[in-house]
Amino acid sequence: MPPLIEIKGLSTQFHLATGVLKAVQCVDLTLDPGETLALVGESGCGKSITAASIMRLVPPPGRIVAGSILFKGIDLLQLPEEEMRGIRGNRIAMVFQDPMTSLNPVFTVGNQVAEGLRVHRGLSRREAEREAVEILSQVGIPAPRERIRDYPHQLSGGMRQRVMIAMALSCRPELIIADEPTTALDVTIQAQILELLDRLKKETGMGLILITHNLGIVAERAHRTAIMYAGRIVETAETSELFRNPLHPYTRGLLASLPEFGAPGEKLSTIAGSVPDLRNEIIGCPFRERCPICVAACATQEPEMKEAGAGHSVRCLKAP
């Protein structure tokens, strides 16, 4: 089976007055149909810009400077904008983190869910509305026929996130990119939304790229996981393999710092220091200043991604 999406050597940069910020550096990713890939990292590591690059929605002054993004064999980066518009929101859809700022406050939710259907599938106003009601009920919104007349502010956070998912699903996309879809929600609502995404994925066979910093969600929901640090992918593996056998010192540090692993009251293990400023030229390994196993070569040589086992790759000179 050919992969649903195959990203090779993606680099995205922001040309700022103060220098060039290399937000995404040489990212390789593959996703098969029906698969969930988790993209994990701390704020500023480039995970959201990777998502925006796939959608070709990198905000200026950002620019994709290298790489290819093959979606079912078509390179999205070579498509004219007009054709990209036919894919965006139609075959690849996105769920954003904050439903309060990503929904338009002056349109009803029905209007917003129906918009994609009218644009991409050419449905009439009435047909699109009927379809919108159907989709809203699928994502678990009670009384959808009444709710489509509501404005976003009339709904709770959980309901708004469901509307966002309904919008993303409206055209039956083959790929959904969900950027921190539950971070703004309470845990009991988060559980409902994640269950819903899983169910819809099973029903429709779509692929899901899940961007999150919550390792618990990753462990429970993702088939494969890619860990990002300073714009690079530093480790990727099947999720269970990654949690059982983390190889990159950053991955190990992240897992060890979880309160879940420490005994109550005991000191948590931490990663010293903080992330490097991506506006500065990074020579060698970007993690070396925080790394417990760094050697002299790390300061001069940027490590290559190397195979460490079946489907398990790591970007570290010292990793086994």
Partner 1 sequence: MTALLSAQNLVKEFPVRDGLFAQKLRLTAVAGVDLELFPGETLGLAGESGCGKSTVARLLTGLIPASQGAIRFHGKELSGMDRSEFAQFRKEVQMIFQDPFSSLNPRMRVSEIVAEPLAIHRIGTPGERKQRVVSLMERVGLSGDQLSRFPHEFSGGQRQRIGIARALAVSPRLIIADEPVSALDLSIQAQIINLLQELKGELGLSFLFITHDLSVLRHLSDRIAIMYLGRIVETGSRDAVLSATLHPYTEALLSAIPSVHPREGKPRVIARGELPSPLFPPTGCPFHPRCQYAEELCGTVRPELLEKEPGHLAACHFSEKNYRQRSSF
Residues at the contact surface with partner 1, assessed by CB under 8 A: 42-43, 156-159, 186-192, 194-195, 213-221, 243, 253-255, 257-262, 264-265, 267-271, 274
How does 42-70 read in b/e, with b if 16+ C-beta sit within 10 Å?
A: eebbbbbbbbbbbbbebeeebebeebebb
Smallest distance, partner 1 to C-beta of residue 63, A: 27
Q: Between residues 265 and 320, which has the closer beta carbon with respect to partner 1?
A: 265
Smallest distance, partner 1 to C-beta of residue 190, A: 7
* 317: Cα within 13 Å, side-chain hemisphere: 18
Q: Which of 160, 109, 166 shows the shortest CA–CA distance to 136?
A: 166
* 23: Cα within 13 Å, side-chain hemisphere: 23
How far is 3 from 269, CA to CA, in rounded Å?
Answer: 38
Smallest distance, partner 1 to C-beta of residue 260, A: 5
Q: Between residues 195 and 304, which has the closer beta carbon with respect to partner 1?
A: 195
How far is 303 from 293, CA to CA, in rounded Å?
Answer: 14
Q: Between residues 122 and 265, which has the closer beta carbon with respect to partner 1?
A: 265
Q: Are strands 232-238 and 312-314 parallel, antiparallel or unpaired?
A: antiparallel
Q: Between residues 4 and 21, which has the closer beta carbon with respect to partner 1?
A: 21
Q: Between residues 30 and 192, which has the closer beta carbon with respect to partner 1?
A: 192
Smallest distance, partner 1 to C-beta of residue 239, A: 10
Please enumerate in sequence order all residues whose Cβ is within 8 A of that of 264, keeping only pairs 6 or more positions apart, or say none: none
Smallest distance, partner 1 to C-beta of residue 271, A: 4
Smallest distance, partner 1 to C-beta of residue 263, A: 9
Identify the DSSP state of 83: H
Q: Are 24 and 53 in contact (CB under 8 A)?
A: yes
Q: Between residues 127 and 198, which has the closer beta carbon with respect to partner 1?
A: 198
Smallest distance, partner 1 to C-beta of residue 47, A: 12
Q: What element of type H or E holds 159?
A: helix 157-169
Q: Between residues 123 and 189, which has the closer beta carbon with respect to partner 1?
A: 189
- What value, to the nearest 5°, has the Cα angle with vertex 88 and ends 66 and 152? 125
Where helices occur in 205-274 by DSSP H, the ranges are 215-221, 239-244, 249-256
